[in-house]
């Protein structure tokens, strides 16, 4: 049977050549929010390797929305130009669709690079900044500064920052945009009762906790071209027993997004509390994606320890998700799609410069260097 993993899928007016997605992976290598040669190399290697879609690392919609001082941002002309350089390269030499993840870290911002310890950087440090959140509650009681609770003016400012970043992303040439509402960052902080302790119109009931993330989605959708795809990544559960943010509430959130014209959802989990207890294993989050897809019929992306071609094929073929996103697997093997195509007897796109690595062409003479006949 023909591989389902290598079949095309259309999101809004954008057709992906296959259902293999390079998931967002923070690289902590930006310069004052601007993309560098590292990003050119990092994303460029995937652009020539036959995947269906690349989604950038989390891009802060303003400088305070970054996770770390080394994270990308998209709020200045210089940052826009630096990221356009990367996307232009990928589109000129590559064979895939380019997507961007727009994010605000909220109370989990101002943290150090992982290889420097990853701990919170105080606002008093020249490398750090003051954080904001739905409520004045730190991520953890020890080591984290208390964020400022966002007032109406702050909510309007951040919503405008998402809109501005989306306009810039469209100008750059991205064809897919994903809003980051997972892993304990700002929009997730509003969704979860662990981090949203508000008593106004943006906190309390599920409907009120969803209000700001949905307002951000609506604002971005109003400026994002209709033929381009707009989706949302969210955590399906906090993995905390005392939290109501679980598969039931996240399914309702997905349904609300669908009603607003969301083109796809990207289902992850956790990240909002140090209390989380996660049952980790191969494909450990695909069950969440499958349940949300079953309930909403939305195009769904699964992520989380999907590493083997036949495993990825089974996720698609069994209807658990419409797409699979790989992160660590891609870091380990940027040519994952090529090898998966061989394993599944399918075809993947190759850059012409690399065509001789294709199974069908291996062993053929090198042009300009024909084999020499051996005299017998």
Per-residue pLDDT tens digits for 157-199: 999 999 999 999 999 999 999 999 999 999 999 999 999 999 9
Per-10-residue mean pLDDT, the chain, length 376: 96 98 98 98 97 98 98 98 98 97 98 97 97 98 97 98 98 98 98 98 98 98 98 97 97 98 98 94 93 97 96 97 97 96 95 84 60 57
pLDDT digits (tens, 9 = 90+) for 112-123: 999 999 999 999
Rounded CA separation 286/268 (Å): 9
Q: Is 296 exposed, middle or buried (0-12, 13-18, 19+ CB in 10 A)?
A: buried
Q: Which residues are known catalytic residues?
A: 185
Q: What are the residue ranges spanned by the domains of the chain?
A: 14-357
Q: State residue 116 phi and psi, 5-degree precision.
A: -110, 10
Establish how many alpha carbons lie within 13 A of residue 52's alpha carbon, considering only the half-sphere containing its beta carbon.
25
- For the chain, give percent helix, strand, coil, nearest 5: 35, 15, 50
Query: Tokens 């380990």 label which residue?
Result: 332
Element counts in the chain: helices (H) and strands (E): 10, 12
Domain 14-357 has CATH 3.40.50.10490: no
């Amino acid at each position: 049977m023909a591989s389902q993993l290598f079949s095309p899928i259309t999101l809004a007016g954008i057709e992906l050549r296959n259902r293999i997605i390079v998931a967002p992976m923070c690289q902590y290598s930006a310069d004052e929010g601007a993309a560098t040669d590292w990003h050119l190399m990092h994303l460029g290697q995937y652009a020539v390797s036959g995947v269906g879609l690349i989604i950038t690392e989390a891009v802060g919609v303003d400088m305070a929305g970054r996770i770390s001082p080394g994270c990308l941002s998209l709020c200045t002309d210089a940052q826009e130009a630096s990221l356009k350089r990367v996307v232009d390269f990928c589109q000129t030499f590559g064979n895939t669709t380019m997507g961007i993840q727009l994010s605000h870290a909220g109370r989990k911002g101002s943290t150090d690079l992982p290889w420097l310890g990853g701990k919170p950087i105080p606002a008093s440090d020249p490398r750090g900044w003051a954080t904001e959140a739905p409520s004045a509650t730190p991520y953890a009681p020890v080591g984290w500064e208390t964020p400022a609770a966002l007032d109406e003016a702050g909510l309007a400012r951040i919503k405008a920052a998402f809109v501005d970043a989306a306009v810039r992303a469209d100008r750059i040439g991205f064809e897919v945009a994903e809003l980051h509402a997972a892993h304990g960052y700002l929009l997730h902080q509003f969704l979860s009762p662990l981090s949203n302790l508000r008593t106004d119109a943006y906190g309390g009931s599920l409907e009120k906790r969803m209000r700001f993330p949905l307002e951000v989605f609506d604002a971005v959708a109003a400026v994002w071209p209709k033929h381009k795809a707009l989706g949302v990544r969210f955590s399906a559960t906090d993995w905390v027993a005392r939290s109501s943010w679980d598969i039931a509430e996240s399914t309702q959130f997905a349904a609300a997004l669908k009603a607003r014209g969301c083109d796809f959802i990207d289902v992850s989990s956790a990240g909002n509390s140090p209390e989380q207890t996660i049952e980790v294993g191969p494909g450990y989050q695909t069950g969440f994606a499958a349940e949300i897809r079953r309930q909403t019929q939305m195009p769904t992306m699964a992520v989380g320890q999907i590493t083997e071609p036949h495993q990825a094929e089974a996720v698609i073929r069994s209807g658990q998700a419409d797409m699979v996103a790989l992160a660590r697997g891609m870091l380990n093997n940027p040519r994952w799609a090529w090898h998966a195509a061989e394993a599944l007897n399918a075809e993947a796109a190759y850059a012409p410069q690399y065509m001789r690595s294709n199974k069908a062409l291996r062993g053929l003479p090198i042009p300009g260097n024909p084999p020499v006949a051996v005299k017998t």
